[in-house]
Structure 1
Amino acid sequence: MKKLSCYLLLSFLFVSISQGQTAFRIERKGTGKPILFLPGFGSSGQVWDQVISKFPEHESITLTYAGFDGVPPIGLPWYCRISDELINYVKENNIKGLTVVGHSMGGNLAVELVKAIPDRIDHLVLVDALPCMREVMMPGVPAQALSYDSPYNDQLLKMSASDFESYASQMAQGMASGAKDQVQLKDWLLAADRKIVVYGYTDLLKLDLREGMESIVTPVLLLVADQPFGDQGLETMKIQYNGLKNKEFKMAKNSRHFMMMDQPEWLAQELQRFIEQ
């Protein structure tokens, strides 16, 4: 049902999309075999800068999503609009031999890409990304039980600026280890469109990409942060990606969710190793 509504929306917006995508900002740098960097929810594509600097021999293609870091917001549904436009972008620009690196929500988009256009993708790197966050955060709750119009969402939308800043600060402290990185994550969230922050997250909670994992034959590297859940976090990832055949797990030591901030050197080394093997 989710995909049907996405396709109906995409058909309605076909003319504007074919003239140029609006669900994200694209930054392309360098030349060479392309690497697509997809950030997680709430962050700018700049979050990948340290890792990108380690790959001067590759072209980097980096996204920043609508509603974040100065990119104008779009209508709802938010997530599937990004997913459909991204698939369309890769097709229209005839991008091939692609390595896709996706963090968190970006990992979800990476999975959508490889399911839709597997012949264009050589490697998939999923950075602390769950195909169904709802199963971990809200066990047993069906997607149909979640909606944009909810007391929790209304509370977030009506928060004062100071209360929302405290909320964003608490979120950031759990996502990265460094104080400067925490401030950066908080600032990105505060600068974002509030409705996208609230309703876009609802889109993510409704998402379940576990079905069809067995059809993916592209090599997949799954990087898992060891904080705060340790081995339990790794086991959760193994359960959720059970259907994947050609996969490899690696644990990022001393890292929280934003491991491109906490462990950029290690992440770049693992990415290089995976591309070359």
Structure 2
Amino acid sequence: MEQLLKRVLNRFEIDGRTICCSVLVGFLCFACSKTVIPPAPSQKTKPYKVFGKWYHPLPDSAGFRQRGIASWYGKDFHGKKTSNGEVYDMNAMTAAHKTLPLGTHVRVRHLENNREIEVRINDRGPFVRGRVIDLTYTGANKLGIVGPGTAPVEVVALGASVWDGASKRKYVPLDYYKGTFTIQVGAFGNRENAERLKLKLGENYKDIQISTYNKGSEVLYRVRVGKFNNLNDAEKNETLLLNSGLKDAFTVAE
């Protein structure tokens, strides 16, 4: 909670003035009732709420172009987790964006000095009106905005980075709705419990698997139902499972 508040406060400095006390009180009341955490990788298409406002991540990055203010965040967050589960590295070429799919590579152009950089989106933010992207220290330094703190930029989505047969990088639009998905309905530390649930589900459902996950300190046996080629089909079946009484069901990407 303390780290979250510090991060929001740092990002809510505008023209040298901090936000007013009434806004801080509102944030504290909201945060005490519900922790504000941007979505984890398995929830990347789910809407999320920060500072009382809902954000809806885009299903794909094709054709995305945006102009606005870029800012940067540095050592206060170095070593902490980002929204996709990675560890934030202030020296890496990554960035935070409120709605682009996590993993999207973007080109950021400084509209005043025409410098350009390419970064990969691995975090959510900045949650300040008018700001469209939060860069690392290294990214901001290359664009020339470390000193002033902010600058007008253009953000163009390139897509997911892949390599062709000639070992050259190319980009394909990143689409969260395509891929392989399944629905997890339970996770157990005891395999016998997982097997019992699998047997019970077998009376009504097909394609039930037990996936083993080693956390280091313990092993979890995850019971999963179905295989789907797109997110829409998976989420429809998730709803059916939830309505049938499997209250822990949720969709995961494989």
- Whether TM-score is above 0.5 comes out as no
Structure (1/2) with the larger helix percentage: 1
Greater Rg by CA: 2
Structure (1/2) with the larger strand percentage: 2
Larger relative contact order, structure 1 or 2 (CA cutoff 8 Å, min sep 6) = 1
TM-score, scaled relative to structure 1: 0.27
TM-score, scaled relative to structure 2: 0.29
